[in-house]
Amino acid sequence: MSRTHARFSFKDVSEIVVGSTLLAFPIAITEEVWNLGKEISVFSTVILVLLSLLFLATFSYSTFYQSKLDRHSREFYVRLMAVYFVTLTVAALILALFGEFPLMTEPAVAIKRMIIVALPASFCATVVDSLH
């Protein structure tokens, strides 16, 4: 069942944290993600970000804003950016807990790992946010 309103609240943020953690944790602790973070190109990383935002926008639009985007466009963008930012933060925290977020020594690797983890985790965050 989808929401009947488009408002974005603190409850939504907590749902996003829980949803992103559900998938970020098992993904962030894999050696494949750690290795891919070293090997993936910047171009591919940018494509991952764009795909994530496109998929999140499509799902959010169809779930929350389909007939009301003209009246709630600000909330739409706030929700989209909040989901992605919170998911990136959760991914970074989990990677850091396992010593696989070398932001000070290898910032490009840290950011790429965070983005790789955030791709599926942001989808899970959005789905959990849409449940009621």
Phi and psi at residue 7, to the nearest 5°: -60, 145
For residue 1, the model assigns a pLDDT of 36
pTM of the model: 0.87
Pick from 29, 23, 48, 21: which is nearest to 100 by CA? 29
Helix (H, G, I), strand (E, B) or coil at 69: coil
C-beta separation of 11 from 90 below 8 A: no
CB within 8 A of 7, min separation 6: which ones?
Answer: 75
Q: What is the mean pLDDT of each run of 10 residues along the chain (132 residues)?
A: 58 89 94 96 97 91 73 81 94 97 98 97 88 70
Q: What is the DSSP letter of 100?
A: -
